[in-house]
Amino acid sequence: MSDQEVSLRSFVYLDKIQPQFAAFVAKKCVSDIPTSGQASLFIEIQPGIEINRVADVAMKKTDVRPAVEIEEREYGIIELHHDDQSEVRYAGQAVLDEFNLQFDQRLKPKIFATQVIDRVTPYHAQVVNNDYDGSLLLDGESLLIIEVQPAVNSVKLANDAEKATNVKIVHFRLRGRFGRVYLAGSEDETRAARDAVLTKFETFKNSPTF
């Protein structure tokens, strides 16, 4: 058992990660790279030091592998993945059991803003491309930005958008006070992505189980 009281900030299960999403995480990861089609789980807890116990429990009890581990004083984040969805789900449940937590104790995710900018100029596209690490935003494309809290929930938005539409992932930020997802495509594609992810997010937000 943990010596500190642990609170659950985020718990985001992805049943099938998409190619762009997997590549973006793999580019940033410091451990085992995830690949398209695997199941993935992002867990965020507080205080941050306890993320090491989360990793210990998950990897001793299952065969999941980590791609990301972030340890701050206030919070900690870990990503776990495996080819077998049941292995990832079991790892998640093992972590919840270890800390006497329930899925519905997570901070309820909330979308704070959505914004579509149509036909971006070359200069605007270049500013965005200089700052971010995913696909390139091209002039004339539309840019969809979604802001969410807690930030880890940005991974759900990005993966769902790619699964549902042909948008490009320009960037997603999963740490800090707010998460943001930047997606690019045609006017129709960005609006279709917005509608699809907002609908799925409502179900995810209110779900009693993962």
In this predicted structure, the answer to whether residue 188 has a pLDDT above a threshold of 70 is yes
Q: Which two tokens stand for residue 204?
A: 């995810």
Whose tokens are 């807690």? That residue is 150
Mean per-residue pLDDT, 45-63: 96
CA angle (144, 150, 151) in 5-degree steps: 50
| CA 122/CA 140 separation, integer angstroms | 8
Query: Do 7-105 and 110-206 have matching folds?
Result: yes
Q: Which two tokens stand for residue 160?
A: 């769902």
Phi, psi angle pair for 204, to nearest 5°: -60, -45
pLDDT given for residue 3 in this prediction: 59
Question: In which band, very low, low, confident or very high, does the pLDDT at 29 lie, cut at 50, 70 and 90?
Answer: confident
In this predicted structure, the answer to whether residue 37 has a pLDDT above a threshold of 70 is yes
Domain ranges for the chain, please list them: 7-105, 110-206
Per the prediction, the chain carries an average pLDDT of 94
Fold of the domain spanning 110-206: Alpha-Beta Plaits (3.30.70)
Per-residue DSSP letter, 103:
G
pLDDT tens digits, residue range 86-104?
A: 999 999 999 999 999 999 9
In this predicted structure, the answer to whether residue 66 has a pLDDT above a threshold of 70 is yes
| CA 13/CA 203 separation, integer angstroms | 13
Domain 7-105 bears CATH identifier 3.30.70.1710: yes
| CA 88/CA 151 separation, integer angstroms | 21
Mean per-residue pLDDT, 186-192: 96
**pLDDT more than 70, % of the chain:** 99
